[in-house]
Amino acid sequence: MSIDVENYFECEEGQAKLYKLRNASGFGADISDFGGVVVSLFAPDITGKLIDVVLGYDDPENYIDNVSYLGALIGRCAGRIFTSKFSIDGKEYTVSQNAPEASLHGGNKGFSHHLYKSETYETPEGVVLKLTRTSPDGEEGYPGALELEVLYTVTNDNALKIEYRATTDAPTVVNLTNHSYFNLNGTGCNSIKDHQMHVNANTYTPSSENLKPTGEIVSVQGTVLDLTQSKMMKESLDELSEGFDHNYMLNDECRNLKVPAAIVSSLSTGIMMQTFTTEPAIQVYTAFCLGDSKLGKHGIRNAQFSAFCLETQHPPDSPNNPSFPSVILRPGEEYKQTTMYNFSIK
């Protein structure tokens, strides 16, 4: 196991660093203390060659803007809050609007665009990067000072585990996730059509214009969104003109970190990624809006449908939909969330 650190870039909050975490076999992740960004994630393919399976930028300063949230920690509330308003205990709060009719991924400067305090150490499970930060009361309009801790562990058995913890001094909403864009063929391969995907979810939350949830939870059976059996991405993307940007309600049995919430594999590299989570939902997104104007890794522009995201979270607009699991956190309570991306060969 190893942990290396280097200066990455300067931002308005100070010097950002890049932490390189590796296990004994070479599997590992490069993670920045700016935005908690997973810059690179190296997994072995069927030949044993290590492949970087997440999109990103060669120029570190591109993460300062990072409008597509590549690899980033998302908060205080992942997804969209429509009308940019919500109420807690009868009191209405207005948060910053940065999307049509909504506040998206925490607002104008969410958790994805801040510098964190950092610490590294080893455990019997693997090597760990701990990031901490206080989100002050009123930041982006959210009530309460939020104490945040995120642990990234590169495990001995080739998984990236992300553990989130948060406490507050006033009632607030919390919904955290990671926004890594995966391509199991490696960066520079601008298609995921040879990927197979399975999502352990019998239901999803339909949406209307601008991806606003209707508040319903309906069956995927008989629809193109049915991923209860493994399905080629080419088949799905040929049917969905804008690809996936859908929230699935996970089946109860896969919220204990024992049964995978999603399984994706590449026919080209043989890499299989199993996603485990304690969260009730997962946003499946296939990068329709990516089309990045900035150069990605290896001087290649990140393209539409060049990656997939599996954002483990509560459903979008949960603060305004009582039919969805609550995202309200109160003083004396602790927010906890764990997600694992486990890599092997199919």
Active site residue ranges: 179, 311
- Which is it for the CA torsion 58, 64, 69, 73, positive or negative? positive
Of 175, 108, 101, 164, nearest to 141 (Cα)?
108
Distance (Å, rounded) from C-alpha 300 to C-alpha 59?
12
Strand runs labelled E in 177-226: 177-179, 195-199, 203-205, 218-219
Q: Is the peptide bond before 76 cis (omega within 30 degrees of 0)?
A: yes
Distance (Å, rounded) from C-alpha 287 to C-alpha 185?
16
Structure tokens at 17: 């660093």
β-bridge pairing 126-135 and 117-122: antiparallel
For 216, phi then psi, to 5°, come to -85, 160
Distance (Å, rounded) from C-alpha 231 to C-alpha 140?
39
| DSSP count for the chain of H helices, then E strands | 2, 27
In a 3-state reduction of DSSP, which class is residue 51? Answer: strand
- Beta-carbon contacts of 312 under 8 Å, excluding residues fewer than 6 positions away, are 177, 178, 261, 275, 277, 279, 281, 282, 337, 339
- Which is it for the CA torsion 135, 138, 142, 146, positive or negative? positive
